[in-house]
Amino acid sequence: MRDNHIITTLDEKPFSRLSEGDIAVMKAHVAGCTDCLRAFEAAQTSASLISARASETVDVSPFFKTRVMAAIRERQLSPELPALARMWKAAGALVSMMAAMVVILIGLTVFNYNPNSEMQVPEIASSQSIYSPEYVVLERSDVDGDAIAYDQVLGTIYDSEDDDGN
């Protein structure tokens, strides 16, 4: 019996739900096992404390029922906020922040116009050769009737890389 400790049995079931036979077996085991004796006494003490606490009754204040019923009536009589108002109360800050962010982004997009940016583009285009890879890929549009074919673009790119030594 010394190899079969009762601590696992006490952990699995509450002490109040143990049968008389289980308690008798445990008492026989705790006579020779000090670890199990401490666990058995702790379980017995906690079971008696729980049963004593559960048997106590608490008297309710005489006006408890009156206060509860008054609170229920007040809640029933007070007008409930419309659903839209409740949603705004919950998510108003988030919606306001999102709207402010949209206004800021629109302002940055519209008012970020630099008049000098148009003057720089023709200077860059005039400095580039019509057959340079940058001009062919980035600047040249396909609106012209003599548009450069895809093979010509690739040929121009790979020819320029060979000239650089790459």
> What would the pLDDT profile of 87-104 be if each residue is shown by its tens digit?
888 999 999 999 999 999
Sign of torsion, CA 73 77 83 89? Answer: negative
149 DSSP 8-state letter: P
Which is more confidently placed, 8 or 133?
8
Q: Which of 8-22, 31-45, 90-104, 141-155 is least confident?
A: 141-155
Mean pLDDT, residues 45-58 taken together: 89
pLDDT of the residue at 113: 64
Among 125, 131, 138, residue whose Cα is nearest residue 155: 131
pLDDT of residue 8: 83
pLDDT mean across residues, the chain: 78
Contact 106, 112 (CB under 8 A): no
The residue extents of the domains of the chain are 7-55, 64-110, 117-164
Interval 141-158 mean pLDDT: 66
Tokens 């940058």 belong to which residue?
A: 134
| 7-31: b (≥16 Cβ within 10 Å) or e | eebbeeeebeebeeeeeebbeebbe
Res. 105 pLDDT band, cuts 50 70 90: very high
What does the pLDDT read at residue 59? 84
Q: How far is the CA of 136 from the CAs of 93, 123, 131, in angstroms?
A: 50, 16, 6
pLDDT at 124 over 60: no
